[in-house]
Structure 1
Amino acid sequence: MEPRQQAAPEPTSQEVNLVYLQQLRELDIPEEAAKQALLHTRNVSAEEAAMYYFNKLENEEEDDEDVLFKMVFVINMDLSMGVGKVATQVGHAAVGLYQTLQGNPSWRELAWKWDSTGSKKVVMQATNTAHLLELQALAASLSLPTYLVQDTGQNLVEPNLRTVLAIVGEEERVNNVTGSLKLL
């Protein structure tokens, strides 16, 4: 492997350096793990990403084989939203939470683990806005990433109402927040 001497286009924060990716693939590092390592090390070099993979990801893969992850969407039932509105708000929550994960280097790996273990998603019910905020605070106290949708009020509900809370993390930890809620 040649360190940084090969000219390659400057990657954006979401892209991987294809030259480095190929070098990692030649080391028999799985493509998704190689991409994750490059993103985590900010595409500095193939060597840096390889060291990250062999020192961190490989060990975690062995440790995390039995760990499941899930994303939960908690609907504010006090708003009496129709099915279409709920679906739209859950979509906003999913995209918002995933963007939040991608924007935080320590959470990118969580997103990758959630995605690589089946991308489990569950929709549940909260009583009202206060309930959503309590759940969000509890999730934050457990260091679980969240995203709370605040509707713009363009249709069906008043502006600035909180419609859906999205939470992601290890299933057992997420269950500590949402395990007693009813499914939608």
Structure 2
Amino acid sequence: MEATNRPYAKFQPNEEYLEALISMGISENHAQEALFCTGNESVEAAVSYVFTNLLHEDNDDENLMPPGAENNVDESPKRYKMTFVVNTALKMGLGKTAAQVAHACLGLYREMRITGDREDALNEWDYFGEKKIVLKGENTEHLEALFNKAKEMNVPCYLVSDAGHTQIPPGSVTVLSVFGDEEEVNAITGTLSLL
């Protein structure tokens, strides 16, 4: 019996899911690992696993390019993300912070869906795992400055003002959400630390 260090070597992936993943340009090894680690749940779960875990693991973008795009770097898909900048000066509790980040995510997502702003980008973000990053903001002025910078750059953004029912005064600016491709979002929030 041949020895292997892959825990999914004897695993039987859903053939339909495996075929779909490979047709997206994901290597067979990455596709099998993703299906193994997500319990054969769905193509979407496996794709999310690949983009969340395997891209960072080996930076092997060659395995994730669409078929036929190997020689055309300009055709590779953009990666999108949503970042959330939390007003740390408010010293919100963990639950309060989580609720405010959720408000920021849903607020920006709804606003973009209603206006149709960057619908293709939003659909691609949805499909590839909805990458989200939570960052530390200094205070209200800091969040407002980042909000204004995003507006000037025409990057979708949303600023949450709390109703003041718990922990903090009404009208407090709690979280800023920003959405776009990695490059433009990093131009706004790329220097901030993770929360």
**What TM-score do the two structures reach when normalised by structure 2?**
0.60
State the partner residue of 1:91. Answer: 102
- 1:160 is aligned with what amino acid? G
1:24-173 matched pairs, under 5 angstroms = 65-173=76-184
Structure 1 CA distance for aligned equivalents of residues 181 and 111 of structure 2: 17
Structure 2 CA distance for aligned equivalents of residues 65 and 141 of structure 1: 27
Unaligned runs of 5+ in 1: 1-61
SS at match of 1:154: coil
Unaligned runs of 5+ in 2: 1-72
The answer to whether the 8 Å contact 1:149/1:165 transfers is yes
Question: Aligned pair count?
Answer: 123
Structure 2 CA distance for aligned equivalents of residues 86 and 149 of structure 1: 11
Please report how far the alpha carbon of residue 132 of structure 1 lies from its aligned counterpart in structure 2 after TM superposition: 0.2
The answer to whether the 8 Å contact 1:114/1:169 transfers is no
- 2:106 is aligned with what amino acid? V
Please report how far the alpha carbon of residue 140 of structure 1 lies from its aligned counterpart in structure 2 after TM superposition: 1.1
Give a deviation string over 1:59-101, Cα, whole Å, max 9, x none. xxx9663311000000001100010100000011111011011
Give a deviation string over 1:134-162, Cα, whole Å, max 9, x none. 10111111111011110000011100000
**What TM-score do the two structures reach when normalised by structure 1?**
0.64
State the partner residue of 1:38. Answer: none
Please report how far the alpha carbon of residue 117 of structure 1 lies from its aligned counterpart in structure 2 after TM superposition: 2.6
State the partner residue of 1:13. Answer: none
Structure 2 CA distance for aligned equivalents of residues 161 and 105 of structure 1: 28
Query: In angstroms, what is the RMSD of aligned CA positions?
Result: 1.4
